[in-house]
C-alpha cells in the first residue's frame, strides 16, 4: 500500500530488530524529505531503495520503504508502509506477509507486484554522511597533549596544531575504539557539525576519514563549563554573565531545532568556554536529525546511554526513547541548575537508575536559594510532564533577555 498518511496502530513503540544495523538499507529515523533527497541523487538507478522508521514508530506500523521510480522520463520517490500483523510478520500487502524485512525485500526484488517497480540496489547508509570539503590529511596534525577532562570512553580529545591553518591550536576528537562502526559514528557527528553553523556551537575545521577517524574543531582555552564551575576560585562570575551564558546556550539549541536536529546531551560538560567566557555547545555524538513531526526515536545504531545521562534526560526520552526539541528544553533547565549551583550534580542524592522514576512521579530539582526566582520559574516551565506544555527556545531566550535587562 502506498503511503498516503501516517496513522497510529498499537500504542506501544516497536522494538527494532538488533540485526538491522548490519543492513546498508536501514536508515533509522529519517524525515521523508531527506529520504527523497538521498534517493534522487544523480546516477541512482530505478528501484534504489531504503527503509526508515515511520513517524509513529508503533508495533503495528514501524517502517517506511522509500523507492526511486521513473515515469515519463521523470524520477520520483514513492513511499510504502511496512506494517506488522498480529503474528509479527512484515507486509506491504496483507496477503503477502514475511518473517523478516530482508525476506520482504528479496520478494520485491523479483516481483513488482503491489509496487511501481522492482527493487534494485540499496541506498547505502554511508551516503547519509556529508563531509564534503572537510577532509584533511593526518600528517597536518601535530598532537600536543591529551585533554584528560573528556569523558567519552570511545574517543579521546587532544590539543593539537593544524599546519594548514597556520599552526592554529585545535581540538581533535580521535577515535579510540569501536572499529568501523565507531568511525562511522564520528563521521556522522562531523556531518552534523557541518550543517550546524552558529556562533555558540563549536566550529568544525576538518576530518580525518581513515582509521582512527578524527574530528578537528576550534580549541577553547577554558575547556568545559563544568570544570570552570567546579573551580571555586574562578566562580566570581557576575549575575549578568551567568544570564548571558544561559542565553548563548539557548540560542545554540534554538538553531539546532530550526535545522531539524535534536542534541540529546545538553549538560555543562558539553559547553566549552573561550577566554572571554563565550559559550560553545559541543558533544554532538548523540545529536540526530528529527522526522517530519519533529521527533527522533532511538535506534540500534545509536551509542548506548551512560547511566548518568538520565539525570539530564526528559521523561519521554528515558521511557519511550522519543526525543524532540522539547526534550532539549528539559535538559537545558537541568543545565541551568548546574550553572547556578556551581556544577552540582542533578539529583545527587538519587541513584542514576532511579532518577527517571522519581521524576516521572513528580519530583523536580528544588531551588536551594542559589537560583534567582525568575530563572527558576523558567526552569519549572521547562520541566512540564508533557512535552507540548514546555516553552520553546524562542520564549526562553526572550525571558532570559528580559531578566538580563531588568
Q: In what order do the strands lie in the sheet with 141-146?
A: 141-146, 155-162, 168-175, 214-218, 204-208
The highest-level CATH class for domain 18-123 is: alpha beta
- 3.40.50.300, 3.30.200.20, 2.60.120.40, 3.30.1490.190: CATH of 138-218: 3.30.200.20
Whether residue 77 contacts residue 69, with contact meaning beta carbons closer than 8 Å, is answered with yes
Strand partners, 224: 272
Kind and range of the H or E run holding 40: none
> What would the pLDDT profile of 124-158 be if each residue is shown by its tens digit?
655 556 677 788 899 999 999 988 644 566 788 89
In 179-324, alpha helices (H): 179-195, 225-230, 239-258, 315-320
Q: Tell me the pLDDT tens digit for each residue of 236-263.
A: 668 888 999 999 999 999 999 999 999 9
Tell me what the mean pLDDT of segment 303-327 comes to.
93
CATH of domain 225-404: 1.10.510.10
Torsion of CA 36, 191, 201, 227, to 10 degrees: 130
Provide the Cα torsion 160, 163, 169, 174; round to 10°.
-30
pLDDT at 182: 74
Q: In whole angstroms, what is the distance from residue 67 CA to residue 156 CA?
A: 39
Residue 7 predicted with pLDDT over 50 = no
The domain segmentation of the chain, as residue ranges, is 18-123, 138-218, 225-404
- Between 183 and 401, the more confident residue is 401
Per DSSP, the three-state class of 115 is: coil
Does the pLDDT at position 77 exceed 80?
yes
Lowest mean pLDDT among 33-42, 51-60, 200-209: 33-42
pLDDT band at residue 405, thresholds of 50, 70 and 90? confident
Lookup: cell for 134: 572537510
CA distance to 21, 51, 95, per residue, from 89 (Å): 19, 16, 11
**DSSP helix/strand/coil, 182:** helix
Amino acid at each position: 500500500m502506498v503511503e498516503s498518511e501516517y496513522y497510529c496502530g498499537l500504542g506501544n513503540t516497536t522494538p527494532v530488530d538488533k540485526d538491522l544495523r548490519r543492513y546498508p538499507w536501514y536508515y533509522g529515523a529519517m524525515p521523508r524529505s531527506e529520504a527523497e533527497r538521498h534517493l534522487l541523487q544523480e546516477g541512482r538507478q530505478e528501484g534504489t531503495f531504503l527503509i526508515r522508521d515511520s513517524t509513529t514508530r508503533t508495533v503495528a506500523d514501524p517502517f517506511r520503504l522509500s523507492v526511486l521510480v521513473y515515469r515519463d522520463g521523470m524520477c520520483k520517490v514513492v513511499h510504502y508502509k511496512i506494517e506488522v500483523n498480529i503474528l509479527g510478520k512484515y507486509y506491504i500487502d496483507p496477503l503477502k506477509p514475511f518473517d523478516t524485512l530482508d525476506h520482504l525485500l528479496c520478494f520485491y526484488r523479483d516481483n513488482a507486484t503491489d509496487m511501481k517497480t522492482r527493487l534494485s540496489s540499496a541506498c547505502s547508509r554511508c551516503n547519509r554522511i556529508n563531509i564534503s570539503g572537510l577532509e584533511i590529511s593526518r600528517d597536518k596534525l601535530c598532537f600536543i597533549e591529551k585533554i584528560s577532562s573528556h569523558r567519552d570512553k570511545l574517543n579521546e580529545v587532544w590539543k593539537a596544531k593544524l599546519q594548514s591553518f597556520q599552526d592554529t591550536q585545535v581540538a581533535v576528537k580521535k577515535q579510540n575504539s569501536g572499529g568501523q562502526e565507531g568511525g562511522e559514528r564520528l563521521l556522522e557527528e562531523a556531518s552534523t557539525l557541518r550543517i550546524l553553523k552558529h556562533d555558540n556551537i563549536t566550529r568544525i575545521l576538518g576530518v580525518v576519514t581513515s582509521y582512527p577517524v578524527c574530528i578537528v574543531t576550534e580549541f577553547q582555552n577554558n575547556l568545559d563549563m563544568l570544570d570552570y564551575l567546579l573551580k571555586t576560585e574562578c566562580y566570581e562570575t557576575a549575575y549578568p554573565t551567568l544570564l548571558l551564558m544561559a542565553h548563548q546556550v539557548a540560542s545554540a539549541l534554538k538553531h539546532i531545532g530550526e535545522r531539524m536536529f535534536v542534541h540529546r546531551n545538553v549538560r555543562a560538560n558539553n559547553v566549552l568556554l573561550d577566554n572571554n567566557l563565550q559559550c560553545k555547545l559541543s558533544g554532538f555524538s548523540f545529536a540526530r536529525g528529527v522526522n517530519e513531526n519533529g521527533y527522533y526515536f532511538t535506534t540500534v545504531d545509536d551509542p548506548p546511554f551512560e547511566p548518568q545521562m538520565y539525570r539530564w534526560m526528559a521523561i519521554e526520552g528515558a521511557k519511550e526513547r522519543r526525543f524532540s526539541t522539547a526534550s532539549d528544553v528539559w535538559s537545558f533547565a537541568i543545565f541551568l541548575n548546574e550553572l547556578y549551583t556551581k556544577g552540582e550534580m542533578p539529583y545527587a542524592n538519587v541513584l542514576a537508575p532511579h532518577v527517571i522514576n522519581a521524576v516521572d512521579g513528580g519530583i523536580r530539582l528544588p531551588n536551594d536559594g542559589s537560583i534567582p526566582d525568575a530563572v527558576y520559574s523558567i526552569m519549572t516551565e521547562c520541566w512540564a510532564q508533557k512535552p507540548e506544555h514546555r516553552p520553546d527556545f524562542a520564549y526562553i531566550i526572550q525571558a532570559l533577555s528580559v531578566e538580563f535587562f531588568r
